[in-house]
Chain A
Amino acid sequence: MIMFDRITGPAAARLLLATAATLLASFPAALSPARAQEPAKPAQIVINDSGGDMQATMRKIFYKAFEDRYGIRVVTTSPPDLGKLRAMVASGNVDWTVTELTGQEAIDAEKAGLLEKLDLNIIDLSPYPEHLRQRQFIFPKSVYSTVMAYRTDKFPGENHPKSWADFFDVKKFPGMRSLQNTPLENLEFALLADGVAPDKLYPLDVDRAFKKLDTIKKHVAVWWTTGAQSVQALVDGEAVMGTAWNGRVWALMKQGAPLAIEWNGGAIKEAAYAIPKGAANSYWGQKFLALAAEPKPQGEYANTIGYPGLNLESIKFTAADVAPFMPTYPDNLKKQFWTDLVWWSENGNAIKERWARWILEN
């Protein structure tokens, strides 16, 4: 049986656990007592996030604040995993009080009915942009952007790529590229490079996007999988320009790496937190999200890691010198487009299979 376990790796291991859990432990959820007005404080809550630097910063600012305020310990796990979330909810044995959900996964989770409704009496979304104030399931924790980053030693001064058209122009800007190994946003970038207006992107012209991508395919040195890998490729010189998440690039720029961000055409989107359906102590999960909605910690968080919150007042707590490196900085914001995660949630699977096929074609 060891063989099977290894064949499908951690994914299978998770599944096995999940299925075993389904079999053996369908009781706790059913037996948990009806919630009182102010439920008793548990010893701890579990928050599942991306880990790494992000988790360290979350702990320093949000988790610590929560622990100090309520005397409830915050235990962390990682990474966000839609499959695991589904297994937990299906088994009724939900470990996470709150979990991060990346990009399109948040919408998939909501559609699959895996999330607990946000209690807007507890979580104050009134200082948020209009369109976010009535959020039902997905808490808009912060924003991040997939941006173009390039090496300043290869493209010094003003002679650097300034648009996706430049990115796709290997004659004008020679050198290898790196892109994320997913069609999400790469299709958008290809269409922008091909002359589609940012406000006319969706619904995506998938065929046209792939056709444009064909032109750059053999100049892509790395199809990256993890955030660390995206910037590693640039720092190591595997590629002279590539896509990366803004915070990752900024962190290296602060350390003096010869990198710069081109905000033009960046794909901005929400990083979401949510409470899994049937989570134990979900009340305290709501309380945590209420804290996460406050402007002060959001500002501090942005100062440290470069991912600003969506509370409009948080800008008051953001340092002036770091603001220009935020995707929400007005000059930056207007150059970017919002990734339509709903569209991707509806159309993504087929495109992702096509992408896998396309990557393996020679």
Chain B
Amino acid sequence: MRRGLFSLNLSRKTWSGIGGAVPPILYITLLFLLPVLIFLGGAFDDTPRHLVRSVSDPLYQRVLIDTLMLGLYVTGICFILGYPLAYALSVMPPRWALVGFAFLLLPFWTSLLVRTYAWMVLLGRNGVINNLLMGLGLIDTPVSFLNNMSGVLIGMVHVLLPYMVFPLFDVMKRVDGSLLSAAEGLGAPGWKIFLRVYLPLTLPGILAGSVLVFVLSIGFYITPALLGGGRVATMALMIERQVREFLDWDFAAALSLVLLICTLLVSIGLGRLLRGKEIHG
């Protein structure tokens, strides 16, 4: 047999394994990767004018930064709420944890729009929450939860919280209880057990949850548009407008590409920040 430059020393078994993988890979490439690449290819046009415009136009700069910041806020809040929640679920008797999960997943069983309008009813100036607070005498004038950043954050956190809780729950379930006992027995007070042992051990979950929530939050546009009262603009909204209203797909592709790269960079940065050092799973 001729052994050319590209011949690889692979066993029959390896080859048959690769052979088995070809159809799905081809399928994914053809149906998914290729369209994406073709679409993104539009960004390059003949000249890089679309790309230049998407990074140099102050409007898109501003929206890009707002979008990334929004993602970071949502991720941060999801972490703060999700961590204790995941912990509680992980130590609950399984039957109660199931009930907890049902509540957590409730938003997924309602349509995005219904969910969003429900928040509008709850959070509005005459909404349930304001009426309750005023009825209790806690506030005199209605608080503006809606049509600003707080409304957007509430709406997005509601939807994205499970994406933080599930990876955390999974990791927390697998934390070896004897490690916590060991730390306790070795003289660590509760908060040090948490900081030195529990937190580092759940770091992979924090990392997975954060990247997931961050990446997902970047793609939101209906929720910010509705609950932000028009004041919170996201890149997804800008891209959607280019595609749908202006029919400028090449520029949409350029914006998508910029957002994709920034999302990847922030995700990697987030990973670096949280990972610290290699952890045994």
Chains A and B touch each other in the complex, with CB atoms below 8 Å apart: yes
Contact of A31 with B by CB under 8 A: no
Interchain CB contact under 8 A, B236 and A8: yes
Contact of A349 with B by CB under 8 A: yes
A7 to B32, CA, bound (A): 15
Interchain CB contact under 8 A, A8 and B256: yes
Interchain CB contact under 8 A, B221 and A9: yes
A8 to B259, CA, bound (A): 9
A351 to B31, CA, bound (A): 37
Interface centre among A11, A236, A360 (most CB of B within 10 A): A11
Chain A contacts with B in 1-43, Cβ cutoff 8 A: 1, 3-12, 14-16, 19-20, 23-24
Enumerate chain B residues within 8 angstroms of A4, measured Cβ to Cβ.
36, 256, 260
A14 to B260, CA, bound (A): 17
Interchain CB contact under 8 A, B215 and A3: yes
Contact of B189 with A by CB under 8 A: no
Q: In this complex, what residue of A is CB-closest to B148?
A: A221
Chain A contacts with B in 314-362, Cβ cutoff 8 A: 349, 352-353, 356-357, 359-360
Contact of A65 with B by CB under 8 A: no
Contact of B39 with A by CB under 8 A: yes
Contact of B239 with A by CB under 8 A: yes
Interchain CB contact under 8 A, A360 and B36: no
Contact of B89 with A by CB under 8 A: no
Choose among B39, B117, B241, B256 the residue that contacts A352 (Cβ–Cβ < 8 A).
B241
A356 to B39, CA, bound (A): 24
Choose among A7, A12, A112, A359 the residue that contacts B233 (Cβ–Cβ < 8 A).
A359
Contact of A305 with B by CB under 8 A: no
Contact of B249 with A by CB under 8 A: yes
B134 to chain A, nearest CB (A): 12
Enumerate chain A residues within 8 angstroms of B121, measured Cβ to Cβ.
232, 236
Contact of A228 with B by CB under 8 A: yes
Q: In this complex, what residue of A is CB-closest to B236?
A: A9
Q: In this complex, what residue of A is CB-closest to B229?
A: A222
Enumerate chain B residues within 8 angstroms of A71, measured Cβ to Cβ.
none
A10 to chain B, nearest CB (A): 8
Interchain CB contact under 8 A, B236 and A224: no
Interchain CB contact under 8 A, A1 and B33: yes
Produce 1/0 per residue, B84-120, CB < 8 A to A.
Answer: 0000000000000000000000000000010001001
Enumerate chain A residues within 8 angstroms of B59, measured Cβ to Cβ.
353, 356-357, 360
Produce 1/0 per residue, B211-251, CB < 8 A to A.
Answer: 00001101111100110011101011011110111111100
**Given known contacts A4-B36, A16-B36, A20-B31, A352 and B245 CB-to-CB distance under 8 angstroms:** yes
Enumerate chain B residues within 8 angstroms of A50, measured Cβ to Cβ.
none
Contact of B124 with A by CB under 8 A: yes
Interchain CB contact under 8 A, A223 and B230: yes
Interchain CB contact under 8 A, A19 and B124: no
**Given known contacts A3-B263, A83-B243, A236-B125, A23 and B230 CB-to-CB distance under 8 angstroms:** no
Q: In this complex, what residue of B is CB-closest to A359?
A: B230
Contact of B181 with A by CB under 8 A: no
Interchain CB contact under 8 A, B247 and A112: yes
Contact of B126 with A by CB under 8 A: yes
Contact of B200 with A by CB under 8 A: no
B101 to chain A, nearest CB (A): 22
**Given known contacts A225-B225, A356-B59, A9 and B220 CB-to-CB distance under 8 angstroms:** yes
Known: A4-B260, A83-B247, A357-B59. 14 other contacts (CB 8 A): A6-B215, A6-B216, A7-B215, A7-B259, A8-B256, A9-B240, A11-B221, A84-B244, A105-B245, A112-B247, A224-B229, A232-B121, A238-B125, A359-B231
A-B contact pairs, 11 of them (CB 8 A): A3-B260, A3-B267, A4-B260, A8-B235, A8-B240, A9-B219, A10-B240, A222-B146, A236-B126, A360-B59, A360-B233
Q: Lowest 3 CB-CB distances: which A-B pairs, in order? A: A223-B230, A236-B124, A6-B219
